[in-house]
């Protein structure tokens, strides 16, 4: 048996102020209750703020990805029927980890959840949930906003809007790093 280094008990990783991240891709649906679930898993007695965000699918089309403009033009004026998300799972989780690292460094927020759907997501259902908890509200707000914006901009999670007779891939090409000044 090797004793713990520096006289520790090995329990430091579970101390109340320890960093905690929940970074997941889920094919199964989730709803607004996920915000309470994630907050309960992340928050400590020292946290005075928990900021949650839900992204929901909508009927109005988004900006087509480069090369999808002609296909998007075919569907002008039509309502989106659903969204379909595809992800490169290991790469997406690695990018979410990078985003969480940046949030800890920039905003001092160590407890963060980013949960994103994959597969078909009907209109009005939740496609992304983000929760940031911190001792103070300002840090939690900016951390949650950064997590949403950077996930959308950088994670290899692709979105297709589904129409009755086709689909259109949506979004700008992914950035490979944090945006300057973010």
Q: pLDDT digits over 86-117, tens only?
A: 999 999 999 999 999 999 999 999 999 999 99
Report how far apart, in Å, the C-alpha atoms of 142 and of each of 101, 138, 150, 159 are. Answer: 14, 6, 12, 25
Q: pLDDT digits over 8-59, tens only?
A: 333 222 334 456 999 999 999 999 999 999 999 999 999 999 999 999 999 8
CATH number assigned to the domain covering 19-169: 3.90.1170.40
Alpha carbons 14 and 12: distance in angstroms, whole number? 5
pLDDT (0 to 100) of residue 41: 96
Q: Which of 92, 141, 104, 91 is nearest to 19 (CA)?
A: 104
pLDDT (0 to 100) of residue 18: 52
Instruction: Say what the pTM is.
Output: 0.85
Q: How many CB atoms are located within 10 Å of the residue 101 CB?
A: 12
Q: pLDDT digits over 123-164, tens only?
A: 999 999 999 999 999 999 999 999 999 999 999 999 999 998
- In the chain, domain spans: 19-169
Please list, in sequence order, all residues whose beta carbon lies within 8 angstroms of the beta carbon of residue 95, skipping any fewer than 6 positions away. Answer: 151, 154, 155, 156
pLDDT (0 to 100) of residue 19: 62
Alpha carbons 84 and 89: distance in angstroms, whole number? 15
Mean per-residue pLDDT over the chain, rounded: 88
pLDDT (0 to 100) of residue 176: 77
């Amino acid at each position: 048996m090797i004793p713990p280094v520096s006289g520790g008990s090995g329990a430091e990783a579970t101390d109340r102020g320890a960093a905690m991240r929940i970074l997941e891709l889920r094919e199964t649906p989730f709803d607004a209750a996920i915000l309470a679930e994630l907050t309960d898993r992340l928050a400590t007695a020292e946290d005075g703020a928990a900021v949650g965000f839900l992204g929901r699918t909508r009927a109005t089309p988004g900006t087509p990805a480069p090369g999808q403009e002609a296909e998007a033009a075919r569907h002008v004026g039509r309502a989106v029927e659903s969204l379909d998300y595809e992800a490169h799972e290991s790469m997406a989780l690695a990018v979410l980890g990078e985003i969480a690292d940046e949030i800890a460094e920039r905003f001092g927020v160590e407890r963060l959840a980013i949960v994103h759907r994959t597969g078909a997501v009907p209109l009005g259902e939740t496609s992304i949930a983000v929760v940031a908890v911190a001792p103070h509200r300002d840090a939690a707000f900016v951390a949650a906003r950064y997590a949403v914006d950077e996930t959308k901009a950088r994670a290899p999670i692709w979105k297709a809007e589904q129409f009755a007779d086709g689909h259109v891939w949506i979004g700008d090409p992914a950035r490979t790093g944090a945006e300057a000044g973010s």
